[in-house]
Amino acid sequence: MNLHEIDVAVIGSGPAGMAAAVRAKETGAKNVVILERAEELGGLLHQCVHNGFGLFYFHEDLTGPEYAHRFIEKTMDAGVRPMLETMALNISPDREITAVSNKNQFLKFRPESIVLAMGCRERSRGALNIPGTRPAGVFTAGTAQRFINVEGFLPGRQVVILGSGDIGMIMARRLTLEGARVEAVVEVLPYVGGLIRNEVQCLHDFDIPLFLKHTVTNIYGERRVEGVRVAEVDSRMNPIGGTERDIACDTLLLSVGLIPENELSLTAGVELDPVTGGPFVDGARQTTVPGIFAGGNVVHVHDLVDNVTWESEIAGESAARFAMGERIPAWAGIKLKAGRNIRYVVPHTISGNEDVTLYMRVREPEQNVRINVGDIAGKSELIVKPSSMLKIELTSEQLKKLGKNVTEVVIDCQKWGGK
Amino acid sequence: MTRIETVICIGCPMGCEIKLTVGAKGEITKISGNRCKEGKSYAPQEYKNPVRILTATVKTANSSRPLLPVRSARPILKRLLLPSMPVLAGITVTAPVRVGDVVVPNLLDTGVDVIATGELLS
Ligand code: SF4
């Protein structure tokens, strides 16, 4: 394949990138490539050796590597060309990609359309400002996951985990199985950050203590972590004097959130939503730059891979249609506005004449609520939590009820019965 | 003599604390605390027979990858998770290995195999 004949270029080969590339091919794009900086396709799935992947997409309980394997086969069968060990360095607003690779050195090419599928990265200690010394033994949960599951090293023997995100809880179980002792999982919020399934199967199953409304206020140790100081926090998340206690440990893992990885998007002039940290996208997953689409964790951080796949299939299909000459006005249509207790809604705009699935997160946990999409649709929920993404499917029939001149629809989370 | 056992339902983010009243012979006489039907079928099963899929890794011999990810092909009893780890620690696999290949047959006499979830090319 000649570099100058590429129709769709996908950046990143995790679940988002593979789904987008396969769908682009299926939609009819001829030359589809995936740029992947690692040596193999699959992205982070390879280090997520636990199960819970694909329950909705495949109706099977797969591990990360198995989910990757299924999609690697689909990618190869579809005739997508992987460009491995190739790292995109820059994308210009007119879609010229600059990349470096081991095999081809320096590349410059301009595909007809691009799908951003770079995923997300972990918030690190620097972003948290924990006081104390700077010893070895402080890792993000994902780094520890790579050490244990891919490289074959145990990062420590006595561990405290700050943050109760899914990766943190999953690492609590992994570390315990591998013979380390997890002293505590410390969560600043009054509720667990990850899925209930992980709280039960990773923490309760192994009697790992969970301290809600607590945080780490100090790290001890010169060369290696020797302990951390943990304190209860008040409602404004400030440590409460007199509640401090020290926990001896040689390792501190951070599982305190994920951030969409958008350095490349910025080089292309793609506008980012300060709430999600990802590009503004329309229903077709087109960003504010025509011909540049995005899907998966680069748009907003998901809790289930199945949704990453579905969302990226939309991006892949749209990118193929664009490459074949169809023009979708960039980021136009009806604006979706996050209303009461809604932190964000993706996509940010919809055309109003196609079936669409809305993804959203709430700001605060609430019980017995109804999520209203303007006055055309709604969904009741017993409970909503920031950690669980909500999904509402709208049909074009329902959307017709909006009428012609509507430019904005508010999504509200209302106490059940109230309005 | 009856006693109360608690099971947390994982069916949805609600995470209902479901109370099971258990009779002398281990029979469940009452279920409460579930906010929907799903919890009613989940709780007795989770109480009587808590099972989990074991996921871990094993060492490799002739490969650039030090580890191969594995899983139990089916769920095993929850209490067998930790005792399974020394079995896996004693295993070294040799490439080639394909996804689904049996790595440990009949783990701890459960009748469940441990299978590869990743690939090792030779
Ligand atoms: S019982 Fe129903 S409402 Fe409660 S956690 Fe289970 S599925 Fe959710």
What CATH number has the domain bearing residue B67? Answer: 3.10.530.10
Inform me whether the C-beta atom of residue B69 falls under 8 Å from chain A C-beta atoms.
yes
Residue B91: inside a domain, yes or no?
Answer: yes
Residue B83: inside a domain, yes or no?
Answer: yes
Core vs surface per residue A49-70: b (16+ CB within 10 A) or e: bbbbbbeebeeeebbbbbbbbb
* A3-121+259-330 and A124-256, same CATH topology: yes
Q: How confident is the model at residue A402 (pLDDT cuts 50, 70, 90)?
A: confident
Q: Give the ipTM.
A: 0.92
- Return the CATH class of domain A124-256: alpha beta
Residue % of chain A over a pLDDT of 90:
84
CB A400 within 8 A of CB A366: no
CB contact under 8 A, B8 and A204: yes
Q: Examine the domain organization and report whether B42 and B93 are in the same domain.
A: no
User: Taking CB atoms and an 8 Å cutoff, what residues of chain B touch A166?
Assistant: none
Q: Examine the domain organization and report whether B60 and B37 are in the same domain.
A: no
Q: Examine the domain organization and report whether B44 and B95 are in the same domain.
A: no
Residue B59: inside a domain, yes or no?
Answer: yes
Q: Which of B47, B55, B88 to mutate to test the interface with A (most CBs of A within 10 A)?
A: B55
Residue B121: inside a domain, yes or no?
Answer: no
Question: E strand or H helix at A75, and its extent?
Answer: helix A64-78
Q: Taking 60 as the threshold, does the pLDDT of residue A322 lie above it?
A: yes
CB A295 within 8 A of CB A359: no
Closest to A411 measured CA to CA, from A395, A396, A391: A391
A382 CA distance to ligand 1 centroid (A)? 9
Q: Examine the domain organization and report whether B83 and B66 are in the same domain.
A: yes
Q: Examine the domain organization and report whether B37 and B70 are in the same domain.
A: no
Kindly list the distances between the CA atom of residue A281 and the CA atoms of A196, A276, A369, in Å, as whole numbers in the listed order: 30, 11, 27
Q: Taking 70 as the threshold, does the pLDDT of residue A1 lie above it?
A: no
Residue B109: inside a domain, yes or no?
Answer: yes
* DSSP for A366-413, written as a single string: EEEEEEEETTTEEEEEEEE-TTS-EEEEE-HHHHHTT-SS--EEEEEE
Kindly list the distances between the CA atom of residue B16 and the CA atoms of A206, B25, B40, in Å, as whole numbers in the listed order: 20, 26, 10
At A193, list the tokens: 């950050």
Q: Examine the domain organization and report whether B40 and B85 are in the same domain.
A: no
User: Taking CB atoms and an 8 Å cutoff, what residues of chain A touch B35?
Assistant: 382
Nearest CA in chain B to A68: B118
Q: Examine the domain organization and report whether B43 and B59 are in the same domain.
A: no
Number of A to B CB contacts under 8 A, please give it.
Answer: 82
Q: Examine the domain organization and report whether B90 and B112 are in the same domain.
A: yes
Q: How confident is the model at residue A328 (pLDDT cuts 50, 70, 90)?
A: confident
Domains of chain A, residue spans: 3-121+259-330, 124-256, 336-415
- Return the CATH class of domain A3-121+259-330: alpha beta
Residue B122: inside a domain, yes or no?
Answer: no
Q: Taking 70 as the threshold, does the pLDDT of residue A417 lie above it?
A: no
**In the prediction, which pLDDT does A419 show?**
44
Distance from CA of B24 to the nearest CA of A (A): 25
At A149, list the tokens: 């599951």
CB contact under 8 A, B81 and A177: yes
Number of structural domains (chain B) is 2
**In the prediction, which pLDDT does A418 show?**
46
* DSSP for B86-101, written as a single string: HHHHT-EE-S-B-TT-
Q: Flag the least confident range among A189-203, A270-284, B5-19, B53-67.
A: B5-19
CB contact under 8 A, A65 and B36: no
Q: Which domain holds residue B97?
A: 55-116
